[in-house]
Structure 1
Amino acid sequence: MSTPVTPSRHFDSEGKSIVPSRYTRSRTNPTDRAGEEIEFASQKGIRNTWFSRMRIFVAPYFAEFIGTAVFVLMGCGSNLTYTVLTTNAQSAWLGAAFGWGIGLMLGVFVAGGVSGAMLNPAVALSFAGYRGLPWIQVPFYFFAEFAGAFVGALLAYACFAHSLDPFDGYNRQISGPFGSAGAFGNFARPFIGNGAAFLSEAVGTGLLVLGVFAITDTNNFPARSCTPIAIGLLLTGLALSIGYPTGYSFNPARDLGPRCAAAIWYGADVFTFHGSYTWVPVAAPMAGGILGATAYEFFIVSRRALVEDNESTSVSEHSSVSYEE
């Protein structure tokens, strides 16, 4: 028969014996322990209910929906503000760019901890291709982002409907001096063809995704807690630098969702205006986002991984030589 082991005793400054805490824990009142076990079992049962599992399943998509709605509400609101209230094109462009950037920042703050706050089908597609987002979730992200953009545009219109009435005389117009549909869906400048617009949107989205990958890459130089601010400033910088030809959509949901909302008041011409321009801000960002993500992964991440592999190889070789000696 084995001999029981007596726990080692410790003594305080007065010479009194102190039993280690791991042994005192076993002296807990059995009634208290039973109550804790019952409470844990009840909480586990609540988490395993159908409703709880459904909440866990839909949480990232609702977060993506609300984050995109906030982003588009603030962006379309800034467009409408400068469309209705100012005639200074320079200040209007600058203010709208900051409005969209701050809207994106707030949307990322709202949804970032739950869904990752991609708020952009082009970004979601890129993350599925290179950052491990499950492909089965991609259609749900797409739907949540388009729905959020649609609702955000509706809310923006509701806030400005009475301001638009004296502006255009109750006659909603797509273009012209009293046109305001461009505050929702983007339209390229009259002198920009669809081919040139496609290139501009693709390049802008590629830079956006490239920047997002760099900002969120923990092995590069991540923004960490400042990620939402950095991403918002990234969009503002792109708007001010290369966004003028097309109005810097760089996001299929940000264009198509508000365009569908605008069709309620401006008519179906919002889809066919400017040579059926609607397909450009949908297709170009998807193509540009994949190109930007591919460029980052192949020319930046792969190079870093190669250096790390070489360093690990040299360390292993050094250790093996030392061992043999």
Structure 2
Amino acid sequence: MSTPAPPSHHVSEGKHSRHTSLFSKRPSNPSERAGEEIEFANQRKIRDTFINRMRIFAAPYFAEFLGTAVFVLMGCGANLTYTVLTTNAQSAWVGNALGWGIGLMTGVFIAGGVSGAMLNPAVALSFAGFRGLPWIQVPFYFLAEFAGAFVGALLAYACFAHSLDPFDGYHRQINGPFGSAGAFGNFARPFIGNGAAFLSEAVGTGLLVLGVFAITDNNNFPARSCTPLAIGLLLTGLALSIGYPTGYSFNPARDLGPRCAAAIWYGAAVFTNHGSYTWVPVAGPLAGGIVGAAVYEFFIVSKRALVDEEMESISASERSSISIEERVQ
């Protein structure tokens, strides 16, 4: 998290105020200098309060919470829109994928400059293992992401509650032609077993993390200012290509948070449906994310790092030879 520049201070001098900065001329009067020092001390005390320290501590987690909430709100809203508008939600697969991709892009725009916009426990775990995210922050990221996903799902349901009433006759259903619980938590296709679903979620999340590592790698071909757009399109592409068997969770928070919210209206069966499927979109993405990160780091970064080390050693040897020649001369 970047540290903002310190605010400018003003010191009262009768009816006038003097702007002080690193480049301003210090007052020559000793009493004025003493007053200025007292003012700076008071400003430091104001900044160094418990509330401000808590705000600084909580800033990345609140950004993560807000970014995930917006991501899930837009994604679940896309699911609900096409669930209500058509009896064949599969025909709206492209629209659903775009909704989730644009939602992810928006969430990354919101939180990227403060928290890094993981918005996914699998991504946060991978960044802790391979990109230097402090492990002590990982549980806080997890909690912020799950809470954001839960709130985002609540807001999506609140927006669509009256639209669902004529669709299902005021009777919330998990499965069947009028089932809408799948707009929140993911449910694999009836013909997909939990083992195959686990593999699908792991592979999809592995590709997602692999792509995120490549997009954000400054030594490779980074997207830079287009990072949110690139990550959003990455999720859309994965949804369109390999997301059909399970509904492309690829994110433990994106599934478990909305699933817990859906339990309020659909009952506890959302956790036990499809052979207690709940564990699959949680464990699969966590495992797949680590594998995807490891593949990128070991097969892409390591080779480049070796080349960089060789260049550094050559440069160091050249510098040492030049310094020896200068000493001899």
Asked if TM exceeds 0.5, the reply is: yes
CA contact 2:84–2:167 (8 Å) conserved in 1 = yes
Instruction: Report the Cα offset of residue 30 of structure 1.
Output: 5.8
Distance 1:52 1:238, change over 3 A: same
Aligned to 2:9: none
CA distance in 1, matches of 2:23, 2:110: 45
Letter in 2 for 1:109: F
For structure 2, which runs of at least 5 residues remain unmatched after alignment?
Answer: 1-21
Determine whether 1:299 maps to 2:290. Answer: no
Aligned to 1:137: 137
Which range moved further: 281-290 or 108-117?
Answer: 108-117
For structure 1, which runs of at least 5 residues remain unmatched after alignment?
Answer: 1-21
Aligned to 2:186: 186
Distance 1:32 1:236, change over 3 A: farther
- Secondary structure (helix, strand or coil) at the match of 1:164 reads helix
Determine whether 1:151 maps to 2:151. Answer: yes
Letter in 1 for 2:114: V
CA distance in 2, matches of 1:152, 1:27: 54
Instruction: Report the Cα offset of residue 29 of structure 1.
Output: 6.4
Aligned to 2:45: 45
Distance 1:309 1:171, change over 3 A: same
CA distance in 2, matches of 1:191, 1:32: 81
Instruction: Report the Cα offset of residue 273 of structure 1.
Output: 0.7
CA distance in 2, matches of 1:28, 1:211: 59
Instruction: Report the Cα offset of residue 154 of structure 1.
Output: 0.5
Instruction: Report the Cα offset of residue 161 of structure 1.
Output: 0.2
Aligned to 1:245: 245
Aligned to 1:226: 226
Which range moved further: 36-45 or 262-271?
Answer: 36-45
Instruction: Report the Cα offset of residue 137 of structure 1.
Output: 1.1
Which range moved further: 281-290 or 188-197?
Answer: 188-197
Determine whether 1:284 maps to 2:284. Answer: yes
Instruction: Report the Cα offset of residue 55 of structure 1.
Output: 1.1
Aligned to 1:311: 311
Instruction: Report the Cα offset of residue 35 of structure 1.
Output: 5.2
- Secondary structure (helix, strand or coil) at the match of 1:139 reads helix
CA distance in 2, matches of 1:140, 1:310: 39
Distance 1:309 1:88, change over 3 A: same
Deviations 1:197-220 (A, max 9, x none): 111100000011111111111111
CA distance in 2, matches of 1:23, 1:294: 49
Which range moved further: 38-47 or 108-117?
Answer: 38-47
Aligned to 1:264: 264
CA distance in 2, matches of 1:67, 1:314: 45
Identity %: 82
Aligned to 1:79: 79
| Superposition pairs of residues 160-199 of structure 1, within 5 angstroms | 160-199=160-199
CA contact 2:26–2:33 (8 Å) conserved in 1 = no
Letter in 1 for 2:307: V
Cα RMSD after superposing both structures? 2.0
Instruction: Report the Cα offset of residue 322 of structure 1.
Output: 4.6
CA distance in 2, matches of 1:290, 1:62: 25
Letter in 1 for 2:306: L
CA distance in 2, matches of 1:223, 1:282: 28
Aligned to 2:200: 200
Deviations 1:254-304 (A, max 9, x none): 000000110111111111111111100000000000001111111111111
CA contact 2:83–2:89 (8 Å) conserved in 1 = no
Aligned to 1:10: none
Deviations 1:75-118 (A, max 9, x none): 00000000001245465111111110111111111111111110
CA distance in 2, matches of 1:318, 1:193: 61
Letter in 2 for 1:248: Y
CA distance in 1, matches of 2:202, 2:23: 65
* Off by >6 Å, runs of 4+ in structure 1: none
CA distance in 2, matches of 1:217, 1:23: 38
Q: What is the TM-score with the length of structure 1 in the denominator?
A: 0.88
Instruction: Report the Cα offset of residue 41 of structure 1.
Output: 2.1
- Secondary structure (helix, strand or coil) at the match of 1:185 reads coil
Distance 1:104 1:160, change over 3 A: same
CA distance in 2, matches of 1:142, 1:48: 28
CA distance in 2, matches of 1:202, 1:251: 10
Aligned to 1:214: 214
CA distance in 1, matches of 2:24, 2:100: 59
Number of aligned residue pairs? 304
Aligned to 1:235: 235
| Superposition pairs of residues 75-114 of structure 1, within 5 angstroms | 75-87=75-87, 89=89, 91-114=91-114
Deviations 1:18-42 (A, max 9, x none): xxxx999467666665554344322
- Secondary structure (helix, strand or coil) at the match of 2:133 reads coil
Distance 1:264 1:27, change over 3 A: closer
Question: Based on CA coordinates, which of the two structures has the bigger radius of gyration?
Answer: 1
Letter in 1 for 2:156: A
